[in-house]
Amino acid sequence: MAIEFVGMVPLILLLVAAVWQCVLIGYAFSLAGNAADEAARAGAVTGPAACAAAAREHIGEAWNLRVKCEESGDIYRAKVTLGIPVFFPGLDFGEIDGTGGAALEKEAK
């Protein structure tokens, strides 16, 4: 029984590592989408500087965040790109994009 346990420990640890990696990827998707939505809303109301600031508000530097904000007709769009972490933020092996849009708020004349 001890030999079976010793043989199964590496497989169990590999499974735990794979599950943890899947959790980090899902969390990165959630962070990117939320940051893009917040950035688009702030950009539609205040402008480009607020767009980038809103995207960076809840995301740490270890996620390698990039933000692109632009007007597209009557919609203000934001695209947030995050690095996909390998076991912990800061060690990346790809990127995840999140996009958001909000209607531009124009002053009544």
Tell whether the model's pLDDT for residue 99 goes beyond 50: yes
Structure-model confidence comparison of residues 87 and 11, the more confident one: 11
pLDDT band at residue 107, thresholds of 50, 70 and 90? Answer: low
Neighbours of 95 (CB within 10 A): 13
Alpha helices in the chain (DSSP H): 2-45, 48-56
Backbone angles phi, psi at 46, to 5 degrees: -110, -40
Lowest mean pLDDT among 84-88, 89-93, 96-100: 89-93
Structure tokens at 10: 């590496």
Q: Is the pLDDT of residue 90 over 50?
A: yes
